[in-house]
Amino acid sequence: MKLLVATHNPGKVQEYRELLSELPADLVFPAELGLDIRVVESGDSFEENAVLKARAFSQASGFLTLADDSGLEVDALGGAPGVRTARYAGHGASDADRYQLLLHNLEGVPWEARTARFRCVVALATPDGQLHTAEGRCEGVIALAPSGEHGFGYDPVFYMPEYGCTMAELDPAIKNRVSHRARAVQAAWPILEALLKSQQAG
């Protein structure tokens, strides 16, 4: 059985290969199928955007498809950047551009008010129109400066008090147990297994 993981992001591709390594399915990615679909993320929530992507890729490929939408919510910024996390510093900006803008916008905000969370919603879509979602969250604090070499995105400025380091300083094996994406996959796992079984039976 094949499972299409609908992402072009190299960091996410690597994480999903790890997170789904024990799933009884052959993982495929859009680049391997020559699928160059760019879905406009017009939803007002992570769930809406994940569903848009999962449906589009499932219909285009004919495969059971997993897509996610994830982002960072910073309490001192009213939940921003939220669904605009990847577009926070404008089109073509680098990861460093985005987290440096975030740090700039939090200048003067005291440590105790820099609380934030990563959220990830996973959507699963089947070619016959079934749709399921699951969510994972990871709480933390926005650091005063970037630190760490692992991960991608905002990981260098997302400080995790229980580990005493940023997400970018975490061992990748630990991150793949405790990150928002890991928790969303854990929540989606029973649904994934059931969908794969029903496809096999059919």
117 vs 137: CA distance, rounded Å: 7
Q: State phi, psi for 13 to the nearest 5 degrees.
A: -55, -45
For residue 69, indicate whether it is catalytic: yes
Tokens linked to 158:
């997302």
126 vs 137: CA distance, rounded Å: 25
The answer to whether 46 and 23 are in contact (CB under 8 A) is no
The answer to whether 65 and 3 are in contact (CB under 8 A) is yes
Tokens linked to 42:
């017009």
Q: How far is CA 30 from CA 54, 112, 152, in A?
A: 12, 42, 20
Q: Tell me which residue of 97, 104, 98 sits closest to 85, measured CA to CA.
A: 98
Which of 69, 75, 95, 155 is the catalytic position?
69
Active-site residues, by number, are: 69
